[in-house]
Amino acid sequence: MLFASEEWVRALVQAVNGHPDLPRALAGLGADLAAVVEADPPHFPRSVSAWGRQRGGRIGEWRLLEDEDEILELGPAYVVRAPYRVWKDLLRRRVDPVQAAVSGAVKVKGDLESLIRRSSYRYVLDAALGAVATEFPDERRAPA
């Protein structure tokens, strides 16, 4: 599935929601989060934004946003943004998310300290990512 597509986000949410430790990982965090994958031409020509809200220890609702300005209207507890290549490195585990946030490679609006305290639950997201086949746009094979 193509990274950051609606199909990919749906599969990731389903995989994350299936993890038994998700309620503990989400405990004490804000109600919602927006993530922005910033354009990184030519491989990722336009930015993509997604929003999700936790409910009952799972991601209860989510959507891809038509326009990044919707984030301002939604007013999520956290906004996490980075260029495509940084997200790719994070997903490939080439970059530590805490280091990326502290260095500014990933920009976080909201209570960064509470996210850092939850970093020991990264395995929840890693397990979900491992369950979702991810194809990155710059690695797509040309049709034969």
Give the angle subtended at the CA of 57 by the CAs of 55 and 60, to the nearest 5°: 35
Q: Where exactly are the structural domains of the chain? A: 6-133
Please count the residues of the chain: 144
- pLDDT per residue over 96-143, tens digit each? 999 999 999 999 999 999 999 989 999 999 999 999 999 999 987 766
Give the distance, in angstroms, between the CA of residue 112 and the centroid of all CA atoms in the same chain: 15
- pLDDT per residue over 37-94, tens digit each? 999 999 999 999 999 999 999 999 999 999 999 999 999 999 999 999 999 999 999 9
Q: 3-state secondary structure string, 42-85?
A: CCECCCEEEEEEEECCEEEEEEEECCCCHHHHHCCCEEEEEEHH
d(C-alpha 58, C-alpha 56), whole Å:
6
Those residues with Cβ within 8 angstroms of residue 21's Cβ, 6 or more apart along the chain or in another chain: 121, 123, 124
Predicted local confidence at residue 28, as pLDDT: 87
Specify whether domain 6-133 bears CATH 3.30.70.580. no
How much is the average pLDDT of 22-49?
Answer: 95
Predicted local confidence at residue 142, as pLDDT: 61
DSSP state of 94: S
What is the side-by-side order of every strand in the sheet holding 48-55?
58-65, 48-55, 32-38, 78-83, 107-109
pLDDT greater than 80 at residue 144: no
Predicted local confidence at residue 143, as pLDDT: 61
